[in-house]
Amino acid sequence: MTGLILRRLIQAPLILLVIYTITFLLAWALPGSAVLSDEGRQPPPEVLAAMEAQYNLDNPVAFYFGYLKGVVTALDFGPSFRYPDWTVNDIVASALPVSVALGLSAILIALMIGVAAGVVGAVRPNSFADIATLVIALIGISMPAFVIGSVLLIVFPVWLGIGSVGAWGTIPDMILPAITLSLPFAAYIARLTRMGMIESLGADYIRTARAKGVAERVVILRHALKNAFLPVLSFLGPAAAQAMTGSFVVEKVFNVPGLGQHFVNGVLNKDLFLIMGVVLIYASMLIAFNLIVDILYHWVDPRIEQA
């Protein structure tokens, strides 16, 4: 266990370095100028040239190492060209807690819906309840978030007067975006749980448990679900990281001030430091979450030897 954690901690910087290099190459290749904004008045050309010199935009090698040095020595992700009053650190500090709260609540909702639906489906395969959850899962996966989000916005705040539009900061504000974001995950978790449950319900130890006269509720929840849950658990790591950062559309529809928008806008604006900053932070989170899941996995089922 300790070995696993140590190995991962040694791997992490190397993985991050590779990600940094690839991101740098891609971001550098983006068309257009980093200091020139798309619209609006521009400073005189000599000013733009001086800015490019200050940030090493005229020298890719100096830029690559200069930025890396700032990040490693001072955790300084640099200024944003697009938002002169804010540094990348400011932007991430304001957006990351929002994305974490939204992403994790979405995963929480997805777990509750998904596991419940999966268990119901597995206990009575091909029943009405099973088929209904299958259909709902299919909708959850295939319906784009901007459709579900817009429908929820129109039904709840606009028609029924429940909740608010475009606000963020209280728990009620979070419910609709979290549900929208959770649906694809819930659908996937439901299918994973159902599959795992059907498999373990047919296993010998379940027959033994039933033969001993263990109550059906206990058989399902304590004996079967425990094993069926393992694939869900390994899915949770990447899913949590994805939910926390991949919510651009949900952020847009519900006006959530999260991190997802900066991935997209950073690229559109060629805001180099912002792109590098958010990618590095996302990558670190992904690595951390995978590690946490591995630790949990081991703890839930000590039989598993981590390689």
Partner 1 sequence: MLRLLAPILLLAGAVALAIIGDRPQPPASYTFLSSADAFTLDPQRMSYDQDMRIAHAIYDGLVRWDPYTFDIIPGVAERWDVSPDGLVYTFHLRDNARWSNGDPVTAQDFRYSWRRALMPDTAANYTSLFFVIDGAREFFDWRSQQLAEHAARPAAERTRAAAQRLRLDAEERFRETVAIDTPDARTLTVTLSRPAAYFLDLCAFPIFFAVHRESVEAWADVDPVTGRIDQRHGWTKPPHLISSGAYKVVSWRFKRDMRLERNEHYWDSASVRSDSVRMVVIEDPSTRVLAFETGAADWNTDVAVDYLGDMLDARARGERHDVHPISRFGTYFWHFNCMPTLTGGRPNPFHDARVRRAFTMSMNKHDIVGKVRRGGEDIATTFVPPGSIPGFDPEGSIVGLPYDPPAARALLEDAGWTRNESGALTDRAGTPFPVVELLASTGAYHDRVALAMGAMWETELGVRTRVVRKETKTYRDDLLRRDYMLARGGWLGDYGDPTTFLNLHRTGDGNNHRGFSNPNFDDLLDRADRETDPQKRMRYLEEAERMTMEVELPILPIWHYATSYQFHPDQLKGLSTHPRLTQYLHYIYKVDPAKADPNPSSPPTKPSGTGVPPVSSKTSDFSAPVSKGQSPQTPPESDASSAMQSSEPTPSAEGAHP
Binders in 198-227 for partner 1, by CB under 8 A: 221-222, 225-226
- What one-character-per-residue DSSP string does the chain give? -HHHHHHHHHHHHHHHHHHHHHHHHHHHTSSS-SSS-SSS----HHHHHHHHHHTTTT-HHHHHHHHHHHHHHH----B-SS-TT-BHHHHHHHHHHHHHHHHHHHHHHHHHHHHHHHHHHHHSTTSHHHHHHHHHHHHHHHS-HHHHHHHHHIIIIIII--S-SS--SSHHHHHHHHHHHHHHHHHHHHHHHHHHHHHHHTSHHHHHHHHTT--HHHIIIIIIHHHHHHHHHHHHHHHHHHHHH--HHHHHHHT---SHHHHHHHHHTT-HHHHHHHHHHHHHHHHHHHHHHHHHHHHH-TTPPP-
Tell whether residue 40 is a contact of partner 1 (CB under 8 A). yes
- Distance, in Å, from the CA atom of 157 to the CA atom of 90, rounded to the nearest integer, reads 32
Report the residue from 12, 28, 143, 168 that binds partner 1 according to the rule CB under 8 A. Answer: 168
Handedness of CA 230, 231, 232, 236 (dihedral sign): positive
Among 120, 200, 270, 294, binds partner 1 (CB under 8 A): 270
Identify the residue among 24, 67, 188, 229 touching partner 1 (CB under 8 A): 229
- Residue 199 makes CB contacts below 8 A (sequence gap 6+) with 228
Q: Report the nearest approach of partner 1 to the CB of residue 69 (Å).
A: 14
Q: How far is the CB of 131 from partner 1 (least distance, A)?
A: 27
Work out how close the CB of 169 gets to partner 1 at its nearest, in angstroms, rounded to a whole number. Answer: 4
- Judged by beta carbon, residue 243 or residue 276, the one nearer partner 1 is 243
Q: Cβ 10 to partner 1, closest distance in Å? A: 25
Which positions from 49 through 88 interact with partner 1, judged by CB under 8 A? 50-51, 53-54, 82-86
Nearer to partner 1, 19 or 232 (CB): 232
| Residues with Cβ within 8 Å of residue 285, at least 6 apart in sequence | 241, 244, 245
CA distance 252 to 257: 9
Q: Which of 144, 169, 202, 238 binds partner 1 (CB under 8 A)?
A: 169
| C-beta closer to partner 1: residue 16 or 296 | 296
Q: Binding partner 1 by CB under 8 A: which of 95, 190, 197, 276?
A: 95
Sole binder of partner 1 in the list 3, 31, 211, 213 (CB under 8 A):
31
Binding residues among 116-155 for partner 1 as defined by CB under 8 A: 150, 153-154
Q: Is 90 in the site for partner 1 (CB under 8 A)?
A: yes
Which stretch, 5-13, 16-24, 32-40, 204-212, contacts partner 1 (CB under 8 A)?
Answer: 32-40
Which of 4, 15, 68, 108 contacts partner 1 by CB under 8 A? 108
Size of the site for partner 1 (CB under 8 A): 72
Least spacing, CB of residue 222 vs partner 1, in Å:
6
Chain residues 240-259 in contact with partner 1, contact rule CB under 8 A = 240, 252-255, 257
| Window of 17-25, 166-174, 204-212, 278-286 that interacts with partner 1 by CB under 8 A | 166-174
Is there binding between residue 26 and partner 1 (CB under 8 A)?
Answer: no
